[in-house]
Structure 1
Amino acid sequence: MKLGPLNHVGVATPSIPESIAFYRDVMGATEIHEPFDMPAQGVKVCFVDTPAQDGGQGTQIELIEPLGEDSPIHGFLKANPKGGQHHMCYEVPDIHVAKAEFEAMGKKVLGEPRIGAHGTLIFFVHPKDMGGVLTEIMETPKDG
């Protein structure tokens, strides 16, 4: 299995507006995208772009806030009331091939591929099989 580039780091937060202020005022965010609801996943999402360094590329942060009482993020925020890193997301060229390869390695894939916040197919791999980090696998967007 060869993962593609890191696409984003997911950060659970009890308040997207407060997190936006932090990334803008403290971390120097270069772009703050419009927050949007993802009812099927029980979250509100906002992408924040951090500055590039030395001609490189910045990192995209996915802020994730619970949307409704059934949100899977509630459990994370109960254990981490101020929020924190929730997952890391890597790109792959073919989501179905990647899923089959993870399963063939004995990794616990959480659910079937579904549409994620970037509008492409995603799935998650359990932290116990990924060095303690919940890992999102995302099919590379067709527009790059």
Structure 2
Amino acid sequence: MKLGRLNHIGVATPSIEESVRYYRDVMGATSFHKPFDLEAQGVKVCFVDTPGENGTNGTQIELIEPLGEGSPIAKFLEKNPAGGQHHLCYEVEDIEDARSWFEGLGKRILGPTRLGAHGTPIFFLHPKDMMGQLTEIMETAKNGH
């Protein structure tokens, strides 16, 4: 199994609208995707693009807002009302190979493999097995997202 690039950093927020203003007005971001609901995961999502080297796309910021009280992000925001870093997402070429790799290492996988916000298969690894960081593993998107 070979780890790919850091695709995005998930940032929980009580308000995507306010976070977009922050990234635009304070951080100077200029490229934002249209927010959308990802009901299967109980979140509203908005990606902020950061520039990479030589005109390529850099690592994205994934703003995640809860969709209702049952959202896992709602629980995170109860403990962190202002929001904050929620997870890191790394790309892999083959999600099933990666899942088998991590399982073979004894890492706890949280739930089944499912479609993520980029429309590609993902799974999450338990923070206690990943140096305290909730980690998302995402199959590399075929269209370059």
TM-score (norm 1): 0.94
Give distance in 2, aligned partners of 1:143 and 1:55: 17
Letter in 1 for 2:131: G
Give distance in 2, aligned partners of 1:50 and 1:101: 30
1:19-43 deviation digits (Å, cap 9, x = unpaired): 0000011111130100000111100
2:6 maps to 6
2:19 maps to 19
Change (3 A) 1:75 1:14: same
1:46 maps to 46
SS at match of 1:10: strand
1:69 aligns to 2:104 (yes or no): no
C-alpha displacement at 1:138, in angstroms? Answer: 0.1
RMSD, matched Cα = 1.4
SS at match of 1:20: helix
C-alpha displacement at 1:69, in angstroms? Answer: 1.8
C-alpha displacement at 1:56, in angstroms? Answer: 6.8
- Does the 8 Å contact 2:88/2:136 carry over to 1? yes
User: What does residue range 1-144 of structure 1 map to in structure 2 within 5 Å?
Assistant: 1-52=1-52, 57-144=57-144
Aligned residues: 144
- Does the 8 Å contact 1:9/1:87 carry over to 2? yes
- Does the 8 Å contact 1:29/1:51 carry over to 2? no
C-alpha displacement at 1:13, in angstroms? Answer: 0.2
1:84-129 deviation digits (Å, cap 9, x = unpaired): 0000000000001100110000000111110000000000000111
- Does the 8 Å contact 1:28/1:50 carry over to 2? no
Change (3 A) 1:54 1:28: farther
SS at match of 1:98: helix
1:57-83 deviation digits (Å, cap 9, x = unpaired): 532100000001211111110110000
C-alpha displacement at 1:55, in angstroms? Answer: 6.3
TM-score (norm 2): 0.94
